[in-house]
Amino acid sequence: MTQTPDNSSTLLKMAVKNLQDLLTDRTVPPEPPEELADVAGFSQLYSTLLEVRTAIREFSSGNLDHQITKKGYLPGSIKALQASLHHLTWQTKMIASGDFSQRVDFMGEFSESFNSMVTLLDESMQKLGFMAHTDPLTGSNNRGYFMERFDAELDRTKRYGGVFCFIMLDLDHFKSVNDTRGHAAGDEALRSLCRVLNSSGLRNTDFFGRIGGEEFAIVLPETKIQEAVKAAERVRGNLENTIVLHEGNEFFITASIGVSAYRVGDTRESMLNRADQAMYNAKEIGRNRICVET
């Protein structure tokens, strides 16, 4: 059909109106009129934009699995965005499961904000983990976390065999320190004890914690009773020679120490009770000494 200038102008206006409705109308636009069917390239352009429109609507409603069948630059760009959003969804699930190593490198400022958020989450979780496991005054393992690790070592020894030892120590005359020098001085005494424990040759596999007010405990994996007594003696000797400094005043502290070794069939309570009794025996016969379980 030969198109006159007036007819061409009418078809152009009609095509523009159909494409405009396709891109702006919230309702599903009707099929283009038959008059535009013979306009070169219009049907292909219309169907491509319709598929892009549909894909964007599906993505915005949360359906990232919508299939895009058209080819070309614009559908290809939408497919790339779809792939990135799919990967971002997977990364978000990984972060929710505790993997804070995830980072994104697309969408410019969004990537920077997302990566900063993940970094802050990672730091916050580390701080929460530290707080959950740590005694706030001394920085040592708190009672709950220490007992978790103690139980793990007990289970390991029961399963695979071997030996390990448990040391309990209690500061001597600690109430007197609090009463005569003040609780702040008592706090400094506890921190000094932890510094001594950290500097007394404990191995990487050994661990200690604060299990009561002035009571601390040490677990020595794969250690016989004789070696455990030697380790306890290093702690005792270092502690009695350590100056505690508080507000310009110096004083000394000592500890009474009890040692127990794993026996077949032991529970946590049985090992703790023997070490605790040995520690009180040390107090009864003069303090600042080590007693071994009977």
In whole angstroms, what is the distance from residue 247 CA to residue 55 CA?
71
Give the DSSP H/E element, type plus range, for residue 34. Answer: none
Residues contacting 288, CB < 8 A, separation 6+: 172, 236, 240, 254, 255, 256
Closest CA to 190 of 174, 205, 206, 202: 174
Closest CA to 23 of 59, 48, 58: 48
At residue 193, what are phi and psi to the nearest 5 degrees?
Answer: -60, -45
141: Cα within 13 Å, side-chain hemisphere: 19
Q: Specify whether 222 is catalytic.
A: no
Candidate list 31, 214, 215, 269, residue with the active-site label: 214
> For 144-238, where are the E strands, in sequence order?
164-171, 207-210, 215-221
- Say how far residue 181 (Cα) sits from the centre of its chain: 40
Catalytic residue list? 214
